[in-house]
Amino acid sequence: MPKLTIDGKEITVEPGTTVLQACEQLGIEIPRFCYHERLSIAGNCRMCLVEQEKAPKPIASCAMPVMDNMVIHTDTPLVKKACEGVMEFLLINHPLDCPICDQGGECDLQDQAMGYGRGSSRFHENKRAVKDKYIGPLVKTIMTRCIHCTRCIRFSTEVAGVEELGAVGRGEDMQITTYLEKAMTSEMQGNVIDLCPVGALTSKPYAFSARPWELRKTESVDVMDALGSNVRIDARGTEVMRVLPRTNDDVNEEWISDKTRFACDGLKRQRLDTPYVRRDGKLKPASWAEAFDAIAARLNGVAGAKIAAIAGDLCDAESMLLLKELMASLGSANIDCRQDGARLDPKNRAGWLFNSTIAGIEQADALLLVGCNPRKEAAVLNARIRKRYLAGGFKAASIGPKADLTFACEDLGNDPKLIEQIAAGAHPFAEILKAAKRPMVIVGMAALARADGAALLPAVQKLAEACNLIQEGWNGFNVLHNAAARVGGLEIGFVPGEGGRDVAGILDGAAKGQIEVVYLLGADEIDTNRLGKAFVIYQGHHGDRGAHRADVILPGAAYTEKDGTYVNLEGRAQRGRRAVLPPGDAREDWTILRALSERLGKTLPYNTIGAVREKLAAVAPCFARVDRLVSASWAVSAGGGAIEAAPFQPAVADFYLTNPVARASRTMAECSALAAGRMPEKGTGTHG
Amino acid sequence: MSGHDYTPTLSNAPFAFTAENEALAQKHVAKYPPGRQQSAVMPLLDIAQRQIGGWLTEPAIRYIAGFLGMPEIRVWEVASFYTMYNLQPIGRHHVQVCTTTPCWLRGSGDIVQACEKHLGIKVGETTADGMFTLKEVECLGACVNAPMMQIGDEYYEDLTPETAVKVLKQLAAGETPKPGTQSGRHTSEPAGGATTLTSINRPAE
């Protein structure tokens, strides 16, 4: 292990560490623009120059590996002069437009010019000006500000795995662009906005709408997919202005998908801000008391077996727990949180978790995808698989629809019968799995939400056992969920009780008149036409499919407007925090259920969210260990039926429109239209 | 705005290698290990440029990207980086006069002027008949025979304004001027005859 001296302090570091990283380990800050710890090293901005004894000139610390007995100085006049020189060069062609720049206030160039610059320039000639490029509806470009750090190019090439951005020309004339200004297609392109150290790439939907120092920052959790990406919600007044990633190496590293980042304008549209009651066939605004009265009147005398509840994709665990207990007190066992009809076994925790964990992907050396497209279903998780693929020695194969996953993935065909073949060792990929040290399988909702899902689940579990996926200290069986609420619902046990109906049973019952009252807790992804003549109570935040069919609407809070616990696909409970207040008369969801229970004479014993969380912790251990993981013991689910030969259909048809918030978002609608080819490539120039 | 426009010539005419060029391209691809065929991008761009007549069109860039299985932007990056690829149409004869210091000290300014006067165009322009495009370039590595210019694949060295114009006239007339030095000396030997090793017998030419 090399030992070196930095500013008189000795440090021993891992071989292969760079001088810059060694300095960071000692807490010495080295200015940088092109260097980023999650991207390859470019060494082109020269901002990180430090002095190395016996070297003829300053060295770029980001690109210099440490060597034994190196002596580094970061605080000498030479280093100061070098930094000032580099800074002065960078600013030669950088416009002085900070007052109108969206990066202003959170700009690396601004900050480092203050910290390391000379304060004035000796350059009196004309500055370079560069034409702005169109690279899609999400990322705005002001290319004159570009300092050629190439972080965006390296991100799209390495992390996103879609080689779209490049640099044409050379020297001062180098320009960042996509091929002939085509829109980027990556589901993670928004991250280049965060990576850009200057204001060259900024958020198009957020352009000119707020200054960073005006924003109230709330650390929270994303609900757009089941990954539970850690986010920061920036709000001003009652409005969510933007969503940014927070670093969590176990979950999302520091990336988020475009849906997570840009769907927040959907929080301002199509909102349910007052209760509604259907009178004479029309939904009319009402007071909370009137809405509760209408529910109480309808529920009066209805047998528990004729009442049902379905929890949607974005629900917090607290509200699901209260709804479950309310339904139990009404004598109903007809509850289900699997609104897509996924045939998950509620009794077998290891059968619905992503057991290998997201960070565990990096240990895997063979991967079988069954009926899932991680790029569309969990874009950031897909980036993790790609990261593993880039490290080498990784074999992946897929049973399912053909898709470009950004990593080399052998297409075994879209035949569900292959699962049994691999399990029986009658397929070449079985040998690859068996030979691997840490093999894993990811099964998606395209498989489990099918009619034969109950047969597919144990089939994949048997494959896991047969191919050595279940080892001491390693569980290679993984389920890829598409909904942020799903695992939380399963942990709580928001599933049919003894003799209760599941989603399909509830819809059948409603169509046949056997179910008279259906409570939809943010459930919009069901076929509402099949609810028949049932009395539908919809509690949620957006006027989407469920609300359109409802007889009573109880306006709830979106994920940015309530404190809530969400369990991600690994079984990691994480706390979302309230960034803004719900609009109008809308309330936090658990309080609505608490109030309704009182009106129905079945008062639930919770007066504070703390009390609800205590109960949650008693119900399932994951809620007692927030932010940490509770592993599950392995078992094969009973299941039943036979696997059908029909090919898998994609679980996510349109990445940009998977939930009510995204469907209300104009930005997402634009992305969706662009992705489907329903929109011309370039904007009309009337906006942004 | 920045001086250069790197957009390749947009064209509706689809591009494909001729059978002969395709065979040549495959020969270049075969030089590299399987999966590394992208390494052949530079010779392939050159083949395409020659086939088109001296410049690259957008369909050609797309074609090569498809040919090598690489993103279009990566091919465009290469084509825009190197000055030997022309992204805009040029005349039949690409006259590149070196004006870097050694050539300049030896009178390259006069050569440029003579070319401009003879062709009736300024540097960077193409003659109306499409025969000549005149450009100033940086060092072409023939300093010992300065001043010099490159036309097509050939170097014309030891120029005077008169010999430079003579070369251009020969090209206009469809003749092939003798490449290399125009002063009569042998390659880059001393202009006035040998100055060293004069006492020993030199082998006969």
Q: What is the pLDDT of residues A397-423, one digit of tens each?
A: 999 999 999 999 999 999 999 999 999
pLDDT at A685: 46
Where b means 16+ CB within 10 Å and e means fewer, B35-49 reads: eebbebbeebbebbb
Residue A650 has pLDDT above 70, yes or no: yes
User: pLDDT tens digit string along A349-365?
Assistant: 999 999 999 999 999 99
Cβ neighbours of residue A85 under 8 Å, at least 6 residues apart? none
Residue B93: per-residue pLDDT: 96
Does the CB of B81 have a partner CB in chain A at under 8 Å? yes
Could you tell me if B35 lies within 8 Å of chain A, comparing CB atoms?
A: no
Tokens in use for A561?
């407007």
Q: Which residue of chain B has the CA closest to A177?
A: B73
* In chain B, ranges of CATH 3.40.30.10 domains: 93-181
Taking the C-alpha atoms of residue A6 and residue A60, their distance in angstroms, rounded to an integer, is 15
Interface test with A, best of B77, B81, B87 (most A CBs within 10 A): B77
* pLDDT of residue A653 exceeding 80: yes
Which residues of chain B are within 8 Å of residue A172 when distances are taken between CB atoms?
A: 2
List, as one string, the DSSP characters of A436-483: -SSEEEEEEHHHHTSTTHHHHHHHHHHHHHHTT-EETTEE-EEEE-S-
pLDDT in tens, A16-73: 999 999 999 999 999 999 999 999 999 999 999 999 999 999 999 999 999 999 999 9
Other beta carbons within 10 angstroms of residue B141's beta carbon come to 9
Q: Is the CB of B46 inside 8 Å of chain A's CB atoms? A: no
pLDDT over 50 at A541, yes or no: yes
Whether the per-residue pLDDT at A160 is higher than 70: the answer is yes
Give A522-537 pLDDT, tens digit per residue: 999 999 999 999 999 9
Question: Mean pLDDT over residues A255-283, rounded?
Answer: 96
Q: Is residue A476 pLDDT above 90, yes or no?
A: yes
A·B CB contacts under 8 A: 48
d(CA A491, CA A343): 15
CATH 3.20.20.70 fits B93-181, yes or no: no
Whether B39 and chain A come into contact, CB under 8 Å, resolves to no
Q: Which residue has the higher pLDDT, B10 or A205?
A: A205
Rg (CA), chain A: 27
Phi, psi of A326, deg, nearest 5: -65, -45
Contact flag A168-B77 (C-beta cutoff 8 Å): yes
Task: Band the pLDDT of A119: cuts 50, 70, 90.
Answer: confident
Are A164 and B71 an interchain contact pair (Cβ–Cβ within 8 Å)?
Answer: yes
The reported pLDDT for the residue numbered A638 is 87
CB contact under 8 A, B73 and A170: no
Residues of chain B neighbouring A169 (CB-CB closer than 8 A): 2, 4, 6, 80-81
Which tokens in the block code for residue A475?
Answer: 């569980």
Buried b (16+ CB within 10 A) or exposed e, A435-448: ebebbbbbbbbbbb
3 state SS for A216-284: EEEEEECCCCCCCCEEEEEEECCEEEEEEECCECCCCECCCCHHHHHHHHHHHCCECCCCEEEECCEEE
Decide if pLDDT at A581 tops 90: yes
Q: Is the Cβ pair B73, A172 closer than 8 Å?
A: no
B2·A163 Cβ contact <8 A: no
DSSP characters for A339-390? TT-----TT-GGGTSBTT-TGGGGG-SEEEEES--HHHH-HHHHHHHHHHHH
* Confidence at residue B179, expressed as pLDDT on a 0 to 100 scale: 95
Residue A688 pLDDT? 41
CA distances from A316 to A223, A521, A576, B80, B112 (A): 9, 10, 9, 52, 76
Q: Name the minimum distance, in Å, from the CA of A170 to any CA of chain B.
A: 5
Q: Looking at chain B, which residues constitute the CATH 1.10.10.1590 domain(s)?
A: 19-81
Neighboring chain B residues of A128 at a CB cutoff of 8 Å: 2
What backbone phi and psi angles, to 5 degrees, belong to A570?
A: -80, -10
Q: Please indicate whether, in this complex, the C-beta atoms of B71 and A163 are within 8 angstroms of each other.
A: yes
Choose the closest CB to B73 out of A129, A163, A170: A163
Mean pLDDT of chain A: 95
Residue A687 has a pLDDT of: 46
- Give the pLDDT confidence score for residue B203 in this predicted structure: 66
Find out whether A483 and A314 touch, Cβ atoms under 8 Å. Answer: yes
Chain B residue with Cα closest to A162: B71
Q: How far apart are CA A397 and CA A409, in angstroms?
A: 5
Residue labelled with tokens 């450009």: B135
Residue numbers of B between 7 and 26 with CB closer than 8 Å to A: 7
Rounded mean pLDDT of A149-156? Answer: 97
- Residue-level pLDDT at B204: 63
Residue A680 has pLDDT above 90, yes or no: no
pLDDT tens for chain B, 205 residues: list them. 445 778 888 888 899 999 999 999 999 999 999 999 999 999 999 999 999 999 999 999 999 999 999 999 999 999 999 989 999 999 999 999 999 999 999 999 999 999 999 999 999 999 999 999 999 999 999 999 999 999 999 999 999 999 999 999 999 999 999 999 999 888 888 888 888 877 776 666 5
Q: Before A650, cis peptide (omega within 30)?
A: no
Multiple choice CATH, B19-81, 3.40.50.12500, 3.30.70.580, 1.10.10.1590, 3.90.1150.180? 1.10.10.1590
Per the CB < 8 A criterion, the answer to whether A26 and A92 are in contact is no
The interface predicted TM-score of the complex, written ipTM, equals 0.90
**Shortest distance, CA A160 to any CA of chain B (angstroms):** 14
Q: Name the percent of chain A in helix, strand, coil, to the closest 5.
A: 35, 20, 50
Instruction: State the pLDDT at residue B202.
Output: 63
Interface residue ranges in chain A relative to chain B, Cβ cutoff 8 Å:
128-131, 163-170, 172-173, 175, 177-180
Distance (Å) from the alpha carbon of B150 to chain A's nearest alpha carbon: 22
